[in-house]
Structure 1
């Protein structure tokens, strides 16, 4: 499950984490956009739910310096030995440039260089090297973790997918259907045994199709108009179905852009239905090759009106 959950203060997440563990969820994965940072919710989970695995999906490679990112990862790996996976990725020009005042340039090279640095640093090595997009002088972690975390790389298209297969311990996928997983993983055939495939899957547990599709359309318009995701879906073959949305969005016609998104695209990319239906749809991702299917819970009328009791009941139902 993606954490933290919306509408629940971080200080109250212990009950959420315990409910997830009790419902059979094995992993808690954080993200980092404009809410919490990636590490704080997992640090709390490390203490509160010692049975669960933890992961970041993703920590941007631009918004922290190399040494700071290594220290943050090492600290969490020390707090949760053997249970933490570090997911990194380029993020987007909005998050990196507009919100963090960092130049978003050469995302592939920066991701490659940060991956190579982190592998060395988290193994306790002295790093004195010009990687290309950054150079470090004699950096060594004072507290290298006894069990270095696996490092997963977020990837959308062939170049980054092949880099993940060649140099990372796994790949992180996002915004794709079970059928799309097959397309993406065709680029990772050279990956070694044990290569993890994590995917964030948006889940809206409601039988109200019109509501779920309205939520899904807003998310699709917000994300898939970002150039990297637009290029990803062109590569996946959705050029014809999504071009009307892209054209309306570029023209500033936001309502027309939402209306142009076909139901079948929403149903491909957003899991919705009752909890049993949602579980079956998530299992389809696992059958397609995803080893770590990570639900991201979307709001529903019942969740918004029902408070903590309904939330915990829904988590339990999704995990059964």
Structure 2
């Protein structure tokens, strides 16, 4: 029933070197993909390079590599290297990231994120195809850059997108889109902006999954995460666009006033329940399946910590991953 089923790596609380046996078992369980994020943990590419040898049956993807924190040439070289080591198994997901990541942590200017993402996409398509790029783009200039080792099969490039403008850019020029922090019920609104995408266009969604029956724990964790993410201007605008402005306005007002505790407490249960999936692993899997029914080709689980997982008891993580696996696949 499901062509693809992904997991975000590295997993919280698991040393990177300890992922080898876990990843090797994922394909047998029905998983097809592993995807990475890049915030303040590992970079997006190192775990995938390791996974390419630890689990050669799995497809690899970045969700996402920011377009501001590496120069265009370095981003092309890094993507080309991974495409060479894992031919036809790598998907390059790029996106704007956020002012905190770009400016506060990486000392780069976060200016015109839409333009920078558009121009990086256009540069990468040419560079990864092996072309000499000598171009003055609106947001940067590249002089006579040519990959010495262009990949024999250039990786598809997917864009992280939230609202209309970036979604339409993805549909017009990219090979797919990466979605984040949305409910399954939001997908019709998002998909309407992707009309006209080419055949084979892929919709990837990162889905936060907290496999526990402890509703109080899941909601408390969900509130903390939502307060941290949806107060970022781009995500706030996204959820206003999705129609959650009235529900989240008390959180935004409290956050703006500097009252983090009040902001977290102001998030309604219905918002938490829509954006963070919780319940038994089997219940969570059924909720993930709703994203697939709404048009997501590749659901990517972002596994959140639970008391059971934090206990470190032997076999708990492996059991949870097996229980979250798809019932069967058709690849």
Q: Please give the secondary structure, in 2, of the residue aligned with 1:141.
A: coil
2:185 match: 179
**Matching residue within 240, 243, 263 for 2:269:** 263
Check the 8 A contact 1:96/1:104 in 2, yes or no: yes
Pair 1:238-2:248 in alignment: no
Structure 2 residue aligned with 1:81? 87
Instruction: List alignment gaps of at least 5 residues for structure 1.
Output: none
For residues 255 and 277 of structure 2, the distance between their equivalents in structure 1, rounded to whole angstroms, comes to 24
Matched, 1:214 2:215: no
Contact persistence 1:155–1:161 (CA under 8 A): yes
Q: What is the distance in 1 between the residues matched to 2:240 and 2:31?
A: 33
Q: Tell me the CA shift for residue 307 of structure 1.
A: 4.0
Residue aligning to 2:290: 284
State how far apart, in whole Å, the 2-side matches of 1:42 and 1:182 are.
31
Change in 2 beyond 3 A, CA 1:307/1:71? farther
Aligned to 1:54: 60
Query: Does 1:134 find its partner at 2:140?
Result: yes
Q: Is 1:317 aligned to 2:323, yes or no?
A: yes
TM-score normalised to the size of structure 2? 0.95
Corresponding position of 1:160: 166
**1:143-154 aligned within 5 A:** 143-154=149-160
Distance 1:189 1:233, change over 3 A: same
Q: Distance in 2 between matches of 1:309 and 1:265?
A: 32
Match of 2:8 in 1: 2
| Superposed structure 1 runs of 4+ greater than 6 Å apart | none
2:225 is aligned with 1:224: no
Cα offset, 1:18, TM superposition: 1.5
TM-score scaled by length of structure 1: 0.99
Q: Give the whole-Å Cα distance in 1 for the aligned partners of 2:142 and 2:308.
A: 51
Equivalent residues in 2 for 1:1-20, closer than 5 Å: 1-20=7-26
CA contact (8 A) 1:202 1:297 kept: yes
> Does residue 116 of structure 1 match 2:122?
yes
Of 95, 99, 103, the residue aligned with 2:109 is 103
**Aligned-partner SS, 1:188:** coil
Cα distance, 1:22 vs structure 2: 2.2
Per-residue deviation, residues 78-106 of structure 1 (Å, max 9, x unmatched): 01000000000000000000000000000
Contact kept in structure 2, 1:19 and 1:316, CA below 8 Å: no
Aligned pair in 2 of structure 1 residues 301, 160: CA closer, same or farther (>3 Å)? same
Q: Which is further off, 247-256 or 227-236?
A: 247-256
Q: Secondary structure at the match of 1:312?
A: helix
- How far 1:15 moved relative to its partner? 1.3
Count how many residue pairs are aligned between Structure 1 and Structure 2: 320
Q: Secondary structure at the match of 1:198?
A: strand
Larger deviation, residues 199-208 vs 300-309: 300-309
Aligned-partner SS, 1:201: strand
Q: Which has the higher helix share?
A: 1
Partner of 2:3: none
Distance 2:314 2:25 in 1: 11
Larger RCO, structure (CA 8 Å, separation 6 or more): 2
